[in-house]
A and B are shown apart, each in its own frame.
Chain A
Amino acid sequence: MNAPTPAHADHSLDSFGDAAASATRVTPGNALRPEDIAIQTVRPSEDVAQYALRLGDDSLILAQRLGHWISRGPEIEEDIALGNIALDLLGHARSFLTYAGHAWGKTEDDLAYWREEDEFRSAWIFEQPNGDFGVTIARQLVVAIYQRLLYSRLVESADSTIAAIAAKALKEVDYHRDHAIQWTLRLGDGTDESHRRMQAAIELMWPYVDELFDDDELTERVGDAGVRPSTLRGEFDAEIRAVLDEATLALPAVPRASGGGRRGEHTEHLGYLLAEMQVLARKHPGATW
């Protein structure tokens, strides 16, 4: 950081106007943005659009959950870390939703704010409440390991837009995974209290793991444009088992929840989440913001 130079003898207020411009170098960087996808003319097939909708909804709902942590984290440094992750996920959601919307002449906001609960295609784990920090980390651990495996395959998608979004997202979820692992280790192998809380958190999330790996008709129909979820399961199990082992945590033996998010059947939590997310937009139909 450049210190403000004392060589300036002019102390009028105007001379300060540009003082800020000389600080550290800042660049927006080059990356695929939702706005870039919005101006693309490629229209996905109905199946690919439905597939993108799932991916977008997963990230959107989780971003909404994580956004609630900002200003409530265990330490201010962690407010920033969770905020970064939420922002990344929101970015992925916007890209996927924008792309999906091309198939139906809808924008990301049409899809986020004007669909009903049973039109959302996110899996159940994403809508589970934040709980304490341990619960949020347990959810992050499952999701980030899953998403990293998924995106590392989707970069090869036969659909070039899906592949491009996945390529940008992959680097980010790689970091989310690292963040979740670091915290799982610290909470699992920290104090007795944190160990107990973290074990309980993993058990709370575990019923929602299986749904992520369920194949269905859509994942069959999209073929090479997507990834058959069941093919990710082996690697997922190996990875998460290694993390839990190192964190002195036990792999839970609890039955799976039925799931149903991919068909629009959700847990009771999603209704509240959407009510909050959509309330303002729906009060002003047709308005721009």
Chain B
Amino acid sequence: MAAAPLQSVPAPRPEDQDASVSPETRAGQAYFDRIIADDSRIEPKDWMPEAYRKTLTRQISQHAHSEIIGMQPEANWITRAPSLKRKSILMAKVQDEAGHGLYLYSAAETLGTPRDVLNQQLLDGKAKYSSIFNYPARSWADMGAIGWLVDGAAIANQVPLCRASYGPYGRAMVRICKEESFHQRQGFEILLELSHGTPEQKEMAQDAVNRFYAPALMMFGPPDDDSPNSKQSMAWNIKRFSNDELRQRFVGMIAEQVKVLGLTLPDPELRFDEETGKWIHMELDWQEFKDVIAGRGPCNAQRLARRREAHANGAWVREAARAYAGKQREKQMQKAGAA
């Protein structure tokens, strides 16, 4: 196997030499390092560094939260979808997002933190999720822009994660990526239909692209020189490409696709640089990004309130189901005792 630079073993840390580190830990670390160096997979019960477990728990649960919160802007349009076919597609899509959230929570739970704890972090406003879902979906065309740009960016981010070093995460991503491609295509087709429709429809489509372009580019995370955790994630084979690498790659794809749509991207600086072979895009407003992440976006409060409401309204239902299961178990035990 070619030794790509991304697979290199992390440099020995001070604790490796530390006499206070137990032999078990040292052996575990050596085993872990070898698996990473071989580009093989870490599985749930393997020894892993605490920082690796923490990083993954945080990343996977944030990812899961994003799917769950991400249902809202689109669910917002299910009842108003302008044709029954679009209504079916949108419902199936939002339902998939619930599914993706569950695949990811399932992967996160294998690291030792139960879902209700992760969920509570979300409800308490302590957990982050993708900033894009704090923007409002104001028009039907937003269903197109979200599918094409937001899901498109998500796919570009996620496809490399199919080979993340943590087995359950990679497996969840394989399933998710496959389903996401339907999401992106249906979004593209919504925009295509609108841009070839009435002048009002075309305007609606362009407006949606204008609003979602920059937030979609920000989905790849801060620029590489301002992304402190990236290097470690790459050393651990969780992340395979840098934020900027993925971002400029994505811009290149949509720059071509937008022509098919007959729309434009709201980026006067967008061009392909022959010299570096890379796409150049406009400066993004990273202050806005930080604000939205920190909870000061247009919809943060609304999204969390809706999540909390659903959770609170469902408490008596979840409780009833558990109580019923308990009663059934008791009945069975009594039957077994009587027999």
Contacts and interface: CB of A to CB of B under 8 A. Distances in A.
A and B touch in the complex (CB under 8 A): yes
B314 A83 contact: no
A287 B174 contact: no
Contact of A191 (B40, B245, B319): B319
Interface stretch (A164-172, A232-240, A256-264, A272-280): A272-280
B6 to A, nearest CB: 6
With a 10 A CB-CB cut-off, give which of B171, B315, B317, B319 has the most chain A CB atoms. Answer: B317
Given A71-B75, A90-B88, A287-B197, A280 B175 contact: no
Given A19-B163, A109-B84, A194 B319 contact: yes
Interface in B26-57: 38-41
Nearest to B322: A190
Contact of B319 (A13, A91, A190): A190
B84 A67 contact: no
Interface stretch (A21-29, A117-125, A148-156, A210-218): A21-29
Helix, strand, loop or mixed for chain A's interface?
A: helix
Contact of B160 (A16, A72, A74, A190): A16
Interface residues of B, number: 74
A277 to B, nearest CB: 6
A127 interface: no
Nearest to B88: A90
Helix, strand, loop or mixed for chain B's interface?
A: helix
Contacts of B314: 73-75, 78, 133
A14 to B, nearest CB: 10
B287 interface: no
Interface in A82-123: 83-84, 86-87, 90-91, 93-94, 97, 108-109, 112-113
A1 B171 contact: yes
B316 A194 contact: yes
A83 B324 contact: no
Contacts, number: 204
Contacts of A128: none
Contacts of B20: none
Nearest to A273: B79
Contacts of A78: 314, 317
Contact of B78 (A2, A13, A21, A70): A70
Contacts of B317: 74-75, 78, 133-134, 187, 194
Interface string A166-204: 000000000000000000011101110110010000000
Nearest to B102: A76
A63 B147 CA distance: 23
Interface in A1-42: 1-4, 6, 8-9, 11, 13, 16-17, 19-24, 26, 34
Given A16-B160, A76-B101, A288-B197, A6 B80 contact: no
B313 interface: yes
A198 B100 CA distance: 31
Contact of B316 (A60, A71, A193): A193
Contact of B71 (A70, A77, A279, A287): A70
Contact of A19 (B102, B174, B245): B174
Interface string B65-86: 0001001100100111111111
Given A3-B170, A84-B95, A186-B320, A281 B162 contact: no
Interface string B307-329: 00110011111111111100100
Interface in A206-228: none
28 contacts: A3-B41, A3-B167, A8-B163, A9-B2, A9-B4, A13-B159, A20-B174, A23-B177, A67-B79, A74-B317, A75-B314, A75-B317, A87-B88, A87-B91, A93-B84, A108-B84, A113-B83, A132-B313, A186-B324, A189-B324, A194-B316, A197-B316, A277-B80, A280-B140, A281-B82, A287-B198, A289-B83, A289-B85
Interface of B: 1-2, 4, 6, 38-41, 68, 71-72, 75, 78-88, 91-92, 94-95, 98-99, 101-102, 105, 140, 159-160, 162-163, 167, 170-171, 174-175, 177-178, 180-181, 190, 193-194, 197-198, 200-201, 240-241, 245-246, 249, 306, 309-310, 313-324, 327
Interface of A: 1-4, 6, 8-9, 11, 13, 16-17, 19-24, 26, 34, 60, 63-64, 67-68, 70-80, 83-84, 86-87, 90-91, 93-94, 97, 108-109, 112-113, 132-134, 185-187, 189-191, 193-194, 197, 276-277, 279-281, 284, 286-289
